[in-house]
Amino acid sequence: MKIGFIGLGIMGRPMALNLKKAGHDLIVPERGSLTDEIRAAATVVADAKAVAAGAEVVILMVPDTPDVERVLFGASGVAEGLKPGTLVIDMSSISPTATKDFARRINEKGCDYLDAPVSGGEVGAKNAALTIMVGGPEAAFERAKPLFEAMGKNITLVGGNGAGQTCKVANQIIVALNLQAVSEALVFAAKAGADPAKVRQALMGGFANSRILEVHAERMIKRTFAPGFRIRLHQKDLNLALQSAREMNMSLPNTAIAQQMFSAVAAAGGADLDHSAMVQAIETLAASKVAEG
């Protein structure tokens, strides 16, 4: 299958290469940042319009809602090159509300649209082990499923367009609150005189165990905060959660607190650190409480 892929960053690059390994032909837009590996694996064309014109399926993996809108509907964007029957798959993590509008506009051109954000980070992308949460028509999902299986393991059609993005927002809430809980627990243990590494080892054998405790707690203990998944991107996802909550007239108080923890690290220059660096905000808060009294 001819796959157009737009967004070849930390996540997108290995995802695209896994599609190539599965036997698909890649078409990508020219960018100065394209690696030699991608240039060797793909046909490079002028822009997103040309990508869409040559592809049966167009996949997007870009940072935020405005980026998706620009790639789809901006000058020389995907929408200008679409042929009826092309499938557009947005694997970015963006606004569920905007996603529904983007899907409607693509549908008007005789094309199907899936929102299919992912979880699993760079490691999951490289190992083709991503969790993929999909929103859209079932027939389009079935058409795309072999592509998803080349990139991920846990693949679920959650509902109609926007449902995939809603699921991803829920995922990011859970991850953020787990990061906050693990950070607080390890800082508490350290302040009480216990060895955080041994506390983590003990907790991994009990009911408190989680992937956050396994993976991110080790990063916290070793102070290895190279991304991974950047704090600024998790901030963006929690902003989507809080915005969606306002639209539904509901409150997410603990999500708001987690967002403030991320904001504290970002304000100190850590926006591009791994999100496990939230522990730094907890440590700073703990130190300030000690200083106060």
Active site residues: 168
Distances (CA, A) of 112 to 58, 87, 103, 213: 11, 5, 8, 39
DSSP letters for 45-62: ESSHHHHHHH-SEEEE--
Q: Dihedral of CA 56/46/232/238: which sign?
A: negative
3-state percent helix, strand, coil for the chain, nearest multiple of 5: 60, 15, 25
* Pick from 114, 105, 246: nearest CA to 168: 114
Q: What is the dihedral of CA 150, 151, 157, 162, to 10 degrees?
A: -140
**37-42 long-range Cβ contacts below 8 angstroms, 24+ apart:** 37/13, 38/8, 38/13, 41/16, 41/17, 42/5, 42/16
